[in-house]
């Protein structure tokens, strides 16, 4: 797991949703269960991921497994970046 | 992910519901109420509220031509008589024009004085149409005059966890486009359309002020409990006579009050967008009769396994609806909040 990814995501969450870092937000903290991010908030997460990492999020990917925690988001982004890189390599060859 | 649990009524009333379901089973009849008794009880509450709490001489009702505002009108008339109730129709050019005709029908049926105030000029002056078109063009650049559009939600029954939104736009020639809305255009569209509800409420309060009347709000329980209203728009009122009633129960009262069939038989709409849009497309997961039963079950601890066969869904689908109910309640809690005071102000209590 790319820890820079997790750190960037964590900073985004704190800056835009929590405003204070009291140390309670862990990589596994569920946003939905803890009332941190609602339906509109997930739109903001999608925009953040798309604009920061150049990924296009399709409808089927808007699920808690990809967006409901710092770890989930970082893992999702990492997988997509790898497949994007693989696709570019394949296209170049 | 931890399964969210619906708020359960653990009072004596909730236990009675569970006992009733065990005895009679769970179906649409679970929402059957004594319409006559309900009308009497609500009427009494309206009278007492006006006299003792609000100190107002009558009530203003904004009429949309739909079942909720019509029943609210009927209840106010039942409570204090038609001479003490004033109705306001607030049509918008090009949107849901049937509403104006049905609103007049309701006003004449209940014998109240009424007026019609077209909100189009106010919306124009506020920049609603310009802001809305600019927001739509963020996702459909070719959107322009003659196009129609609406916003619909993702399908709660087949997805889990999140609700997101699509813009559906129709060209003058009939071709439609459906695009998922990113956050910025979604919020811009929402903010632009909220002008409509807030403009209407401003007009209602104008008439309330000049008559020294109270404004009767018209949300039913689905709308009130799940936050399907605009803050300082249709969410604003002095009294909300049917906010405790499930939509199916509003229909029962409508029949008892003799509401014209044309209004009772009309499908609920939002009356917000230029394309016809059902409330289940925009906000609720299901048509109102099924949504009623899910919310009722959620509120009374009736499990998904009992609800599913009654409404023709799978157990998993009902669980998704329960989770969606919890999410909506949580997300829209903000809409119910009064202003937060940083420090209390002694002497002011509500």
Enumerate the domain spans of chain A. 3-18+30-92
* CATH code that applies to domain A3-18+30-92: 1.10.1200.10
Q: Choose among B17, B69, B89, B102: nearest CA to B250.
A: B69
What pLDDT does residue B350 have? 59
Which ranges in B81-216 belong to alpha helices (H)?
98-110, 120-126, 128-136, 183-211
What pLDDT does residue B40 have? 97
What pLDDT does residue B28 have? 81
Which run of H or of E encompasses B311?
A: helix B304-311
B131 to chain A, closest Cα gap in Å: 20
What pLDDT does residue B247 have? 95
Q: Structure tokens of B257?
A: 């009050």
Q: Choose among B331, B253, B344, B282: nearest CA to B155.
A: B282
Beta-strand relationship, B113-116 and B214-216: unpaired
Beta-strand relationship, B176-180 and B148-153: unpaired
Beta-strand relationship, B85-89 and B148-153: unpaired
Q: Which residue in chain A has the smallest CA separation from B182?
A: A43
Torsion of CA B75, B79, B85, B87, to 10 degrees: 0
A23 to chain B, closest Cα gap in Å: 21
Q: CB-CB: which of A30, A47, A68 is closest to B182?
A: A47
ipTM: 0.84
Q: CB-CB: which of B4, B163, B187 is closest to A39?
A: B163
Q: Which residue in chain A has the smallest CA separation from B324?
A: A39
pLDDT in tens, B64-107: 999 999 999 999 999 999 999 999 999 998 777 788 899 999 99
- From the candidates B155, B161, B330, which should be mutated to test the interface with A, based on the most A CB atoms within 10 A? B161
Q: Choose among B110, B105, B119, B168: nearest CA to B140.
A: B168
Distance of CA B332 to the CA centre of its chain: 13
pLDDT tens, residue order, chain B (350 aa): 334 456 555 555 567 777 777 777 888 888 999 999 999 999 999 999 999 999 999 999 999 999 999 999 999 999 999 999 999 999 998 777 788 899 999 999 999 999 999 999 999 999 999 999 999 999 999 999 999 999 988 877 766 668 889 999 999 999 999 999 999 999 999 999 999 999 999 999 999 999 999 999 999 999 999 999 999 999 999 999 999 999 999 999 999 999 999 999 987 766 667 776 666 666 666 888 899 999 999 999 999 999 999 999 999 989 988 988 888 888 888 999 999 999 999 888 65
Q: Are B71 and B257 in contact (CB under 8 A)?
A: yes
pLDDT in tens, A17-60: 988 888 889 999 999 888 888 767 899 999 999 999 999 999 99
pLDDT in tens, A59-78: 999 999 999 999 999 999 99
Q: Work out the end-to-end distance of chain A between its first and last CA atoms, rounded to an integer number of angstroms.
A: 28
- Please indicate whether, in this complex, the C-beta atoms of B160 and A64 are within 8 angstroms of each other: yes
Which residues are within 8 A (CB) of B154 and not within 5 positions of it... i.e. 6 or more apart?
A59, A62, B162, B163, B164, B165, B166
Set of chain B residues whose Cβ sits within 8 Å of the Cβ of A43 = 164, 181-183, 186
HSE (CB half, 13 Å, CA atoms) of A13?
29
A90 to chain B, closest Cα gap in Å: 29
Q: Which residue in chain B has the smallest CA separation from A69?
A: B1
Q: Which SS3 state, helix, strand or coil, does residue B62 take?
A: strand
What pLDDT does residue B167 have? 95
What pLDDT does residue B2 have? 36
DSSP B95: B
Q: CB-CB: which of A44, A50, A68 is closest to B1?
A: A68
Set of chain B residues whose Cβ sits within 8 Å of the Cβ of A67 = 161-162
- Percent helix, strand and coil across chain A, each to the nearest 5: 65, 0, 35
Q: Choose among B219, B260, B282, B263: nearest CA to B66.
A: B263
B140 to chain A, closest Cα gap in Å: 17
What pLDDT does residue A22 have? 85
Beta-strand relationship, B85-89 and B176-180: unpaired
What pLDDT does residue B163 have? 82
Q: Are A57 and A46 in contact (CB under 8 A)?
A: yes
- Structural domains of chain B, with CATH: 1-32+285-332 (no CATH), 33-132+184-278 (3.40.50.620)
**Distance from C-alpha of B296 to C-alpha of B315, rounded to nearest angstrom:** 16
What pLDDT does residue A90 have? 82
What pLDDT does residue B162 have? 83
């Amino acid at each position: 797991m790319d820890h820079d990814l997790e750190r960037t995501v964590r900073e985004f969450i704190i800056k835009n949703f929590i405003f204070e870092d009291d140390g309670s937000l862990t990589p596994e903290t569920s946003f939905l269960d803890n009332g941190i991010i609602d339906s509109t908030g997930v739109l903001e997460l999608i925009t953040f991921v798309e604009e920061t990492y150049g990924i296009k999020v399709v409808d089927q990917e808007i699920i808690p497994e990809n967006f409901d925690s710092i770890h989930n988001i970082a893992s999702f982004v990492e997988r997509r970046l790898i497949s994007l890189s693989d696709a570019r390599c394949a296209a170049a060859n | 992910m931890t399964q969210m649990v619906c708020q359960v009524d653990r009072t004596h009333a909730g236990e009675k519901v569970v006992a009733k379901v065990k005895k009679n089973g769970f179906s649409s009849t679970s929402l059957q109420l004594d319409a006559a008794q309900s009308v009497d009880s609500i009427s009494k509450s309206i009278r007492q509220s006006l006299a003792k709490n609000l100190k107002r001489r009558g009530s203003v009702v904004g009429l949309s031509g739909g079942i909720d505002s019509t029943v609210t009108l009927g209840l106010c008339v039942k409570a204090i008589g038609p001479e003490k109730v004033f109705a306001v129709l607030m049509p918008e050019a090009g949107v849901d024009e049937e509403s104006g005709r049905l609103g007049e029908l309701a006003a004449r049926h209940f014998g109240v004085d009424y007026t019609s105030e077209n909100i189009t000029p106010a919306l124009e002056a506020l920049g609603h149409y310009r802001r809305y078109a600019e927001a739509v063009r963020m996702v459909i650049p070719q959107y322009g005059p003659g196009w129609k559009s609406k916003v619909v939600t993702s399908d709660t029954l087949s997805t889990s966890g999140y609700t997101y939104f699509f813009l559906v736009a129709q060209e003058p020639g009939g071709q439609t486009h459906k695009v998922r809305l990113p956050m910025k255009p979604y919020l811009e569209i929402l903010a632009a359309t909220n002008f409509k509800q807030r403009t209407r409420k401003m007009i209602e309060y104008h008439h309330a002020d000049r008559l020294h009347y109270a404004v009767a709000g018209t949300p039913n329980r689905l709308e009130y409990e799940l936050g399907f209203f605009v803050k300082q728009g249709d969410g604003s009122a002095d009294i909300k006579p049917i906010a405790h009633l499930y939509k199916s129960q509003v229909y029962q009262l409508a029949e008892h009050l003799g509401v014209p069939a044309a209004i009772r038989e009309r499908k609920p709409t939002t009356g917000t967008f230029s394309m016809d849009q059902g409330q289940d497309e925009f906000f609720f997961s299901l048509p109102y009769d099924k949504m009623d039963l899910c919310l009722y079950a959620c509120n009374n601890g009736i499990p998904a396994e009992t609800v599913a066969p009654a409404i023709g869904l799978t157990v998993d689908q009902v669980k998704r609806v329960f989770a969606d109910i919890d999410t909506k309640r949580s997300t829209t809690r903000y809409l119910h909040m009064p202003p937060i005071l940083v420090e209390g102000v002694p002497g002011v209590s509500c």
